[in-house]
Structure 1
């Protein structure tokens, strides 16, 4: 076609109807792409909703596909920059988050939000959307700690090495935030604007909580006690039995891990095997169950989605990833990879479900690698429930006052 007959299309002049329809479809898939769409030009931005005007409890704008990659502080080139991995596409982006140098990240919620603490300036808790940068204020942390009593926290050594809030998230009423401290067997529930947390303590007298990884799935909070898999009901706040455990679990020797794997609630039972290695040391065994919420039962399985997924488990948090997103051979399907806060990680990197074989670990540091050397290291670090000592010591001093 001759240049004189060529017509240039004005993409900014799509019209509110067409641009709005495109924006809605983009938002339904990923809020990051939606923000990119809004950033193209002013006409497109005018035709779609501003995420910051709707708040962190609006699920349309949750970065649910994005996982913040944890790195040792020595590796972070800027105190305000973090890397995020898209669990559906494998895309990795750098996000500038002003203020993080004065905040501690307590948890990454199931919706992709960060639960942050304004420390050391105060003990205020916020939900932070890392992509829209919207900040929602919640009651201060000490408003929850005061219920428990200082002596109890010191007795449980809650702040010696961990202060995990993994398993936190937003209930399906889209207004209540659950702050979960699994190791303390304690939940806090609050809504934006509240001045205190509603405490739910499930440590005593019964059931006894198995203080390991809990999970949020489809707006419901699940944890495991000696009675079985429990779900949180909020009217009134209480734990209700979903499914009894078909196997004995020792609260002392075993750990139990819940996670959302491709929309299914899965349970991993980490226990000692009757078999011993050549040094007469008891081996760990990992049994996996699918929780059938409708039937109220646990079904033993040897695969995650037909081999399409791998699990990364830590003492207090767990992660399921589709292996197709990553380079061939870097992650193996139907495999449980261990985080650096699990003792056997010094010798064993992973555990294959199908043949019960193990992957030997090359890392000499069983607690935490100073820098991830492989993709498995990187994802294992994401599920390591360890935070930094200067923060822990401050919380201990607060409790002693």
Structure 2
């Protein structure tokens, strides 16, 4: 027999510790759920931390689709009146979010851990923007703030963007340092800047030398932002982390036991690529939740990267994951798609939006 209670529950007066515990569990799953909880009532907002630039508040599993099935060829933020479609690659959930006006923010140029990078060419203003928390930070411009090695080149290709966030003890996390990987004709340059800087600095990549039969090869291509850190893979499959102090530089954090030189199969894609693993069992301990994909002759090699120990684990099967190079992993079984999305596959020359935008 079902007994209905006429007692009204005063959810606004839920114990603060209970609210914080529930909020923490939601935040571990998705920052969007955390924001929804805080929006319920003022007492719940008071009981929980306001979103900041800490990595735990990054919308890292959210992807903005450049082409929306409901809006033909709408690239963010070309039409600010349109709520652009975002999809969670871990759960398949979708959201429609209004992005800042083009007149103020300009062109969307890159993304990292769910954060969006914009450049307004008319004002030469670069901004990093969190689409879920609406936090924004202004960075140095590109016209006057680039180092000569980049400014003097005509052919520059942005291959990756990332964010580095450092916290001092229990103090709130500072505004993020944005990292850009630029491919020049004969080399690769890593730039970094934080809000308040008047120019972009360069990351010392002098630890890397790559030559093959007398040819000078760009040492790396792209990179991956994970949990407030930024990592780049070399052509031999090594993984390096960008360190900001005392001066920006690279440090080796992992080397594969079978180092072998890989060549790019296409100009738009490097021969060794880092992608998110999307496996909750991978995160924590000595693993930052990333996979290293090596494109070999006639084969594709996928390795799990264990940063703490510098070890690699071969991944023979991707399970329900699908990888879209150069840097996106999704849980394919969350996306009923057309054309059908083959689970456990590495896609080299296909656009993820062809499968999930419709």
Q: Secondary structure at the match of 1:248?
A: coil
CA distance in 1, matches of 2:250, 2:5: 71
> Partners in 2 of 1:191 and 1:104 — Cα distance?
19
The 3 A distance-change label for structure 1 pair 204 and 15 is closer
C-alpha distance in structure 2 between counterparts of 1:113 and 1:182, whole Å: 18
1:112-131 counterparts in 2 under 5 A?
112-117=114-119, 119-131=120-132
Determine whether 1:237 maps to 2:235.
no
What SS does the aligned partner of 2:34 have?
Answer: helix
Alignment of 1:67 with 2:69, yes or no, is: no
For residues 258-294 of structure 1, give each alpha carbon's deviation from its aligned partner in whole angstroms, at most 9, with x where no partner exists. 1121344322222444xxxxxxxxxxx4232333435
Per-residue CA distance 1:218-265 (angstroms, 9 max, x = gap)? 333222334633222222322223315622323687722111213443
1:247 aligns with 2:260: yes
Structure 1 residues 93 and 251, CA gap change in structure 2 (3 angstroms): closer
Deviations 1:319-341 (A, max 9, x none): 1122332239943332111345x
| TM-score, structure 2 as length reference | 0.74
Aligned residue pairs: how many? 318
Counterpart of 2:329 in structure 1 is 320
Distance 2:4 2:92 in 1: 44
> Contact (CA 8 Å) 1:202, 1:209: kept in 2 or not?
no
Q: Secondary structure at the match of 2:158?
A: coil
Residues 55, 165 of structure 2: 8 Å contact kept: no
In structure 2, the residue matched to 1:212 is 221
Structure with greater Cα Rg: 1
Q: Could you say if the C-alpha distance between residues 22 and 334 of structure 1 is closer, same or farther in structure 2, counting changes exceeding 3 Å?
A: closer
CA separation in 2, counterparts of 1:205 and 1:91? 41
TM-align CA RMSD: 3.5
Checking the alignment, whether the CA contact within 8 Å between 2:242 and 2:250 is kept in structure 1 is yes
Q: Unpaired segments of 5 or more residues in structure 1?
A: 274-284, 341-367, 380-401
How far the C-alpha of 1:182 sits from its partner, in A, is 4.1
Q: Is the 8 A contact 1:144 1:188 kept in 2?
A: no
- Of Structure 1 and Structure 2, the greater helix share is in 1
Shift, 1:22, TM fit: 3.5
Aligned to 2:140: 139
Question: CA separation in 2, counterparts of 1:41 and 1:216?
Answer: 34
Which TM-score applies when normalising by structure 1? 0.67
Which residue does the alignment assign to 2:54? 58
Taking the aligned partners of 2:165 and 2:42, their CA distance within structure 1 comes to 35
Structure 2 CA distance for partners of 1:186 and 1:171, relative to 1, 3 Å:
farther
Gaps of 5+ in 2: 168-172, 211-216, 283-288
Aligned in 2, Cα 1:292/1:121: closer, same or farther, shift over 3 Å?
Answer: same
Distance between the aligned counterparts of 2:304 and 2:317, measured in 1?
Answer: 10
Equivalence for 1:308: 320
